[in-house]
Every structure is written in structure tokens, then in C-alpha cells.
Amino acid sequence: MLIKFNTPTDYRSWAEMNFGNNDFNDQRLTKRNVIIAEALMTYPNMSISDLFPQSSDAISAYRFFQNSKTPSDSVTQTHRNNTFHAIMQLGEQAQAAGEKKPVVLLLGDSSEINFGYSRKINGACPIGISNQGQGFLFHANLAFDWKAKQIIGLASALIKDRTPRPKQKNGRKLASHKRVLLPDRESAVWMDSKKELEPLLDSVEMVCVNDRGADFYEHIHQLNQDGFSYVIRAGQKNRIVAPLEDPEQRICLYEYICNQPVQEEQTIEITGQIVKNKKQPYRLSPLLIRFGAILFLSSSVSSKVQGIQEPFQVNFVHIQEDSSRSIDAHGKPCTVKEPVEWILLTNRPVTTIEEALEIRDMYQTRWLIEEYFCALKSGCGLEKSQLQNINSLKTLCGFYSVCAVFILALKYLQNYHPDTDVYTIIPKEWIIVLQQKLGVKFPVKTVRDFYIGVAKLGGYFNRKNDAPPGWKRIWKGFNKLLPLVDGYKLALEIFPEKIVYR
């Protein structure tokens, strides 16, 4: 596991554990990558020149990023190996105890890393809206222990350049049904990211939890062939499927699902929903739950060109908000701009309402990958880097992709394991300085105390009805805390005998 109660609070030990076995075919590069990792983790969201006061160290760091022997996949090698072995250990422990295979969720998604359009970056590819930005596509799979409800680590991290859509001889852009035949198509990253994880399938059940971008026939067919389980939100509601009871019939997926009887109804509170960048007010709504199975049919491209023809069974869980019966905080009927509706496709058994609710809960966990990208971009500040070469930025992304896992795991502990002893996770100097800054009225003993304290430095009020602090408040607080930690360390070096704690 990445986060344990005995995790070293010295970030040099953390850097050695997550970067110390990276293979660059040069021991000097391995030592330098540990030094850089320690600095980036200790002071996230800081420029390279600010990380290293000594000019020689800063120059060595820049040379490391520019070296052709230090690609991003080599930088993340040790951490991914640790994640691999941690998952393997889960399976061995379950086998020794005579238990069934443990379930490990692979929370996967892609995110555009966009460095803007106003500056020149050597070797950058177009990205963003209308391809006006510069950057690359980052695809990550986060491993999550479903039983222990704990983040294990980064299982895979792929960086892919986005290529412009090819054009035909007449100058028009290539049609979508022809573009999927290209060997370097962007959607192939979903299948490529799981190849190195196939040896783990003998010891654990790997459940790929993905959003609508992963809903295409070739991907789901490949998951079935390789032995992965999956929970994927349907993006193509109008695809043609066949009912199990009548394989010759053809019907629209959404039409078929809506015609099924409702097996369960639950009333839930919906808060914090964002529609067109606006937060929607609180409401109480009934959720209708249906589940069943259909036959997936191959597309014309898959059958004619790729030779995939056989239909296969896919189970579904349909969760639909009945907005006609939604009420606001005062108990009055309210207007719902965008009702909640999920169609979840899976190859896990869904024959009871308990199994259907477990599928729903697994998909809800997918939000952690979105939080991960927030930690990578807003927390570590990857897109703010001023490096001028795209390969250097990709290497930096490798470092930050591991740092973001640790940061996310801390935030996750704050939400789900808030009473964890803070001294087993956070460096002692951080806790001492935060305690002194907040005063004796706010003791810092647990992980939740620490995160609330940091958020308070960032302007969080911590009132009774306030929502938990978000990334912006937390990182604003971190940016105030870290300079104070620097001053504290300097004071210890200059006047060690005069530092007295209240």
C-alpha cells in the first residue's frame, strides 16, 4: 500500500521508496531523480529554480529533464512496480487465508495537459478546444483496494501526443468510422494502459471503472477477452442491442432499459451538483433502479475489418432520478435542470439489488480519478511549469503523477479515515509550525485536524455547516505553510538551543 500508518515522514525516505529503483542505466541519474522527487514532494507547486537555492543543483535538475534517458515511464517505474507488488500481495494474503480473490478497482481516465497557446514549447502537439493549446494527453489508472477502501497507487500512466485528424485526398477531414481504423488512434490508450496489468488477474479481480469515454465495442470486447471485470458508464445510449430472450431482435439500448420494470426505489439528497458551471441548490429526489442484461452487437467496422463478430452478454444497472417528484429544502416541488441518470455496463453478476447497488458504489468511487487530476494540475501546478521543451514537461509529469497520488491519499484519509494519527503521515516540522500558527485552541492530532488547519490558513472558516474544504483552499494554505516551515528549519540550524515550544 502507498499509505500505511508506518509511512516514513521523512520525504527523502519517501523519495527513495518511490523513485530509488528507477533504471536510467546511470547511477548518477538515479541519485539525481531521488533528489528532485524529494524537493518536488516537499514543496509542490514551486518552480525548479525556487526548489534549489544552489544554482548547481538547479542546473543539474534542468539537465535531468532534458536528458533523453529520463522519459516519464522510467520516472514512474519504481512506483508502478510498488503498486504492482502491493496488488500481488493482496492476492497472496487472500489465497493464504482461503478467501476469494480480492477486488481491486482500476479507476481510469484521460486528461488534457494544456500549457496554453501564448508561449512557444519545442515539440508540443495541439491540445484543448479547437486544438489551440499546446500539450499532451495523460491517461492514468489508479488502483484502489475495494475491501479496505484505500488507495494503493498508480497502476499505469501513459502519455500520448494528440495528432490532428487526418484528411482525405479532397482535403476534407477523415470520417469517424474510418478514423477508428488508424493504428495510432487516441482511443487505443484505453486498451494499451492495461496490458502490463494482465499478470495480476490470476491473484485478484481487477475491475476497470471508467466514464463514457471508454464505452466503445472494441474496448469492452478486449476486457472480456483478457479477463478483466469492468463498470463503464454508457455513452452511446442509442446503440443497437439484442435482448437475451430474443437474440434476433434489434432494439435501442435506452429504449430497452426504460421498458424494464423498476426493481428498487430510493430517496436521496443531492447536493453540490454542477450544471453549466453553476452549483444547483439542494434537493431531495427519488432514484429509480433497474438492472438486467442485454447482448452487445459488434459494429460494422469491428465485424468487417477487425474480424470481431460474436455478440456477448453485458449486464446493466440503470439509475434514474424521478425529477417530477423532487422537492427543495423547504419541502416544495422544484425544477431540476439536469436529472441524475446513469447507465452502467458491467460483466460482474447483477441478479439482486445488493449487487446492483455495489455496481453503483463502485462507479461512485471513480470520482477519485478526477480528484487525482485536480491534485496533479491545481495542487502540483503541472500546467504552470515554464519548461520550454515538451519532453522535459513529460518527465516533470512523471514526477508529479506520483506526488499527486500521495497528496490525494492524504486527502482521502482526511475524508474516510479522519482519526489517523497525523504523526504517522505528515512530517513533524509541518505539524509543529501549523500548531504554532493556529495557536493552542486548535490542537493538531489527527489527519483531519491537519487538513482543516491547512485550509484555515487558506481562508476556510470551518463553521458547523460549511462543506469540507476543496483543493483551492487547501493549496492556498499550503503555500502559506511551506515558507513558514522553511523559516523554522533555518531557525533550528542557527539557534537550535533557543527554540522553545509552548
Cell 475491501 maps to which residue?
Answer: 147
Segment 435-454 shows an average pLDDT of 85
DSSP state of 204: S
Using one digit for the tens of pLDDT, what is the confidence trace for 42-64?
A: 787 788 888 888 889 999 999 99
pLDDT for 177: 58
Coil, strand or helix at 193 = coil
Using one digit for the tens of pLDDT, what is the confidence trace for 184-194?
A: 678 888 988 88
Backbone angles phi, psi at 105, to 5 degrees: -85, 135
How are the residues of the chain apportioned to helix, strand and coil, as percentages rounded to the nearest 5?
Answer: 45, 20, 35
What is the Cα–Cα distance from 211 to 216, expressed in whole angstroms?
11
Segment 343-366 shows an average pLDDT of 96
What is the Cα–Cα distance from 133 to 116, expressed in whole angstroms?
5
- What cell numbers appear for 372 in the block? 487525482
CA angle 412, 404, 61 (to 5 degrees): 155
**Which of 151, 133, 131, 149 minimizes the C-alpha distance to 141?**
151
pLDDT for 272: 76
**Which of 136, 132, 125 minimizes the C-alpha distance to 158?**
136
Cell 495480476 maps to which residue?
Answer: 200
C-alpha distances out from residue 133 to 115, 119, 121, 144, Å: 7, 10, 11, 33
Coil, strand or helix at 486 = helix
> Which band of pLDDT confidence, cut at 50, 70 and 90, is reported for residue 78?
very high
Please enumerate in sequence order all residues whose Cβ is within 8 A of that of 351, keeping only pairs 6 or more positions apart, or say none.
Answer: none
User: Hey, where are the domains in the chain?
Assistant: 234-348, 422-498
C-alpha distances out from residue 62 to 10, 59, 66, 134, 403, Å: 24, 5, 6, 21, 19
**Percentage of the residues of the chain whose pLDDT score is greater than 90:** 48
Using one digit for the tens of pLDDT, what is the confidence trace for 271-288?
A: 878 887 788 888 999 999
C-alpha distances out from residue 134 to 41, 137, 320, 391, 425, Å: 26, 10, 39, 13, 37
Cell 465495442 maps to which residue?
Answer: 217
Tell if the pTM clears 0.95, that is, is over it.
Answer: no
Average pLDDT of the chain, as a whole number = 86
What is the Cα–Cα distance from 70 to 67, expressed in whole angstroms?
6
Query: Over 90: is that where the pLDDT of 109 sits?
Result: yes
- What cell numbers appear for 318 in the block? 440503470
pLDDT for 2: 41
Amino acid at 265: E
pLDDT for 205: 96
Alpha helices in 332-446 (DSSP H): 353-364, 367-374, 390-416, 428-438
Backbone angles phi, psi at 18, to 5 degrees: -100, -10
What is the Cα–Cα distance from 166 to 180, expressed in whole angstroms?
11
User: What DSSP line would sit under 106-138, residue for residue?
Assistant: EEEEEEEEE--SSS--BTPEEESGGG-EEEEEE
Please enumerate in sequence order all residues whose Cβ is within 8 A of that of 101, keeping only pairs 6 or more positions apart, or say none.
Answer: 91, 94, 203, 204, 205
Segment 110-133 shows an average pLDDT of 87
Strand partners, 346: 231, 315
Query: Over 60: is that where the pLDDT of 4 sits?
Result: no
In CATH, the number for domain 422-498 is 1.10.740.10
231: region left, alpha or beta (phi > 0 left; psi from -120 to 50 alpha) = beta
